[in-house]
Amino acid sequence: MTAQARVRVLTGITTSGTPHLGNYVGAIRPAIAASRDPGVESFYFLADYHALIKVQEPARVQRSTLEIAASWLACGLDPDKVWFYRQSDVPEIPELTWLLACVAGKGILNRAHAYKAAVDRNREAGEDEDAGVTAGLYMYPVLMAADILLFNAHKVPVGRDQVQHIEMARDFGQRFNHLYGEHFVLPEAAIEEHVATLPGLDGRKMSKSYDNVIPLFAPREQLRKLIFGIVTDSRAPGEPKDTEGSALFQLYQAFASAEETAAMRRAYAEGIAWSEVKARLFERIDREIAPMRERYEALIAQPAQIEAILREGARRVRERYATPLLARLREAVGLRDLSHAPAARDGKKEKPSAPAIKQYREADGRFYFKLVQGERVLLQSVGFDSPREAGQLIARLKREAAQLRHEAGAGLRLGEALLGELAADAALDEVAQALARLAEAE
Ligand code: TRP
């Protein structure tokens, strides 16, 4: 397997409802398609700590977590190819939340949309500003920043309403880096501009808050009933119909091919009856959903299997990312093993350790180098016949850090040249970052 430095893309799904067709078209389907890109390392997690902010019914949180996990798996998410886990199975997330809370500006949290909206509502109602506002709602952006920064995600696909949260994650990450050294990648929002929003049963945007949704895995007969209940205008069969503003047409388009859509457009012009549109729409949606519905029902019937998948996902992602990073962060902030030498007493600030390349000769007569950062060795080279050979490779390494590849069993390579090995606790892009800092410093 090749582990190139891939772009890390991370998304959380709040477990506070039942997935509907709008979620499928707008989020699940495109995310699963994106997760198949070999240049991307995807993280999908169930944000159940976030759910507790709005839902205080335990059974609903549990049910929603099960349904959302089963839906993503049924729609084709492959837990062997992406990181798929449940937020509350990763204790490093709340731990990091606290570390970030201690650098996050309270004034910034005051400006968070969700909190501000609650305060505004209270003001209008003549209530105390913070009436009914929990510290959980207030801290929501810090928890979300921890979700993202813990995995050093590069990109976070979100709707416009979430962009502010990504900005805050960058801000908290930057403050932390400034105080304690470069630990975090600053994430970017990947704003989903052309994600289809689906109309619901009443023609408004399909949304739980409008109570107009079609559940993604409604049984076939219920799906038919719901589709036949979608509002239309009063044009009779035979009368030409407008595709513009037609909820049925928009829904059809979200599932149909370009040819099918063109055929439906012609049928509208020729006066197709609304009942016929509904019949075709139902069959078209059901054709796409039916195989997934079958998988969904099989999964839901075996919740222990889903539980095992989620736990295994959390175990692996903790081992690979969360646990080692948190160990470094604890060290960085001073939550340290007391038996080691205490830091300087004169109050001088410790500098975050700069990366360096050390060249040396071993007893075997060959020439080696290693990339170190503070006490840590990130990369250990193989032996070279001459110092010149080693030096040339180091120079190339600084210029071409992005080309670095790591193949299990075959070592770290730059093009065809074998460099050496990655340290067990180091990630490839940590190495790339350290090399970039080295190149900058020159
Ligand atoms: N707050 C997001 C939402 O409501 C869900 C979420 C939680 C999330 N943590 C995240 C999204 C981290 C992206 C990254 O949609």
**In the chain, what are the domain boundaries?**
3-197+302-330, 217-299, 355-441
| Residues 409, 123: Cα–Cα separation, whole Å | 63
Nearest atom, ligand 1, residue 144 CA: 9
In this structure, what token pair is assigned to residue 372?
């170190």
- CA torsion sign for 285, 287, 292, 296 is positive
Taking the centre of ligand 1 as the mean of its atom positions, its distance from the CA of residue 2, in whole angstroms, is 30
Residue with tokens 């080693």: 390
> Which of 23, 152, 162, 207 most suits a substitution to test ligand 1, by most atoms within 8 Å of the C-beta?
162
Nearest atom, ligand 1, residue 14 CA: 5
Taking the centre of ligand 1 as the mean of its atom positions, its distance from the CA of residue 144, in whole angstroms, is 6
Residue with tokens 């030409």: 240
Neighbours of 306 (CB within 10 A): 19
Q: Is 134 left (phi over 0), alpha (psi -120 to 50) or beta?
A: beta
Class assignment of domain 355-441?
alpha beta
| Residues 375, 360: Cα–Cα separation, whole Å | 17
Judge contact between 104 and 172, C-beta under 8 A: yes
CA angle 18, 140, 129 (to 5 degrees): 110
Residues in the chain: 442
Nearest atom, ligand 1, residue 140 CA: 1
Domain 3-197+302-330 has CATH 3.40.50.620: yes
Query: What's the pLDDT at 348?
Result: 57
Taking the centre of ligand 1 as the mean of its atom positions, its distance from the CA of residue 163, in whole angstroms, is 10
- CA torsion sign for 408, 308, 82, 166 is negative
Instruction: Give 341-375 pLDDT, tens digit per residue.
Output: 665 555 555 666 788 999 999 888 999 999 998 87
Judge contact between 66 and 300, C-beta under 8 A: yes
Three-state SS at 182: coil
Q: What is the pLDDT along the chain (442 residues), one digit of tens a residue?
A: 344 578 999 999 999 999 999 999 989 999 999 999 999 999 999 999 999 999 999 999 999 999 999 999 999 999 999 999 999 999 999 999 999 999 999 999 999 999 999 999 999 999 999 999 999 999 999 999 999 999 999 999 988 889 999 999 999 999 999 999 999 999 999 987 766 789 999 999 999 889 999 999 999 999 999 999 999 999 999 999 999 999 999 999 999 999 999 999 999 999 999 999 999 999 999 999 999 999 999 999 999 999 999 999 999 999 999 999 999 999 999 999 998 766 555 555 566 678 899 999 988 899 999 999 887 889 999 999 999 999 999 988 888 887 888 776 678 888 888 888 888 777 787 888 888 888 887 7
Nearest atom, ligand 1, residue 153 CA: 14
Taking the centre of ligand 1 as the mean of its atom positions, its distance from the CA of residue 62, in whole angstroms, is 18
Find the residues whose C-beta lies inside 6 A of ligand 1: 10-12, 14, 47, 50, 144, 147-148, 156, 158, 162
Nearest atom, ligand 1, residue 159 CA: 15
Taking the centre of ligand 1 as the mean of its atom positions, its distance from the CA of residue 154, in whole angstroms, is 15
CA angle 324, 106, 153 (to 5 degrees): 35
DSSP annotation of 387 reads H
Taking the centre of ligand 1 as the mean of its atom positions, its distance from the CA of residue 442, in whole angstroms, is 39
> Which of 9, 165, 195, 317 most suits a substitution to test ligand 1, by most atoms within 8 Å of the C-beta?
165
> Which of 9, 13, 137, 142 most suits a substitution to test ligand 1, by most atoms within 8 Å of the C-beta?
13
In this structure, what token pair is assigned to residue 325?
């990073």
Nearest atom, ligand 1, residue 147 CA: 12
The DSSP bridge partners found for residue 369 are 359
Going by alpha carbons, the residue nearest to atom 6 of ligand 1 is 12
Neighbours of 54 (CB within 10 A): 15
What is 217-299's CATH superfamily?
Answer: Tyrosyl-Transfer RNA Synthetase (1.10.240.10)
Measured CA distances, 306 to 67, 79, 303 (Å): 10, 11, 5
Judge contact between 61 and 51, C-beta under 8 A: yes
Q: Which residues contact 52 (CB under 8 A, 6 or more apart)?
A: 61, 136
| Residues 251, 351: Cα–Cα separation, whole Å | 57
Nearest atom, ligand 1, residue 13 CA: 5
Taking the centre of ligand 1 as the mean of its atom positions, its distance from the CA of residue 12, in whole angstroms, is 4
Neighbours of 17 (CB within 10 A): 20
Taking the centre of ligand 1 as the mean of its atom positions, its distance from the CA of residue 202, in whole angstroms, is 27
Nearest atom, ligand 1, residue 11 CA: 13
Taking the centre of ligand 1 as the mean of its atom positions, its distance from the CA of residue 18, in whole angstroms, is 16
In this structure, what token pair is assigned to residue 190?
């990947």
Q: Is 7 left (phi over 0), alpha (psi -120 to 50) or beta?
A: beta
| Residues 83, 310: Cα–Cα separation, whole Å | 10
Q: Which pairs count as long-range contacts for 173-179, CB under 8 Å and 24+ apart, including other chains?
A: 173/100, 173/145, 173/149, 175/103, 175/104, 175/105, 176/99, 176/100, 176/103, 176/149, 179/103
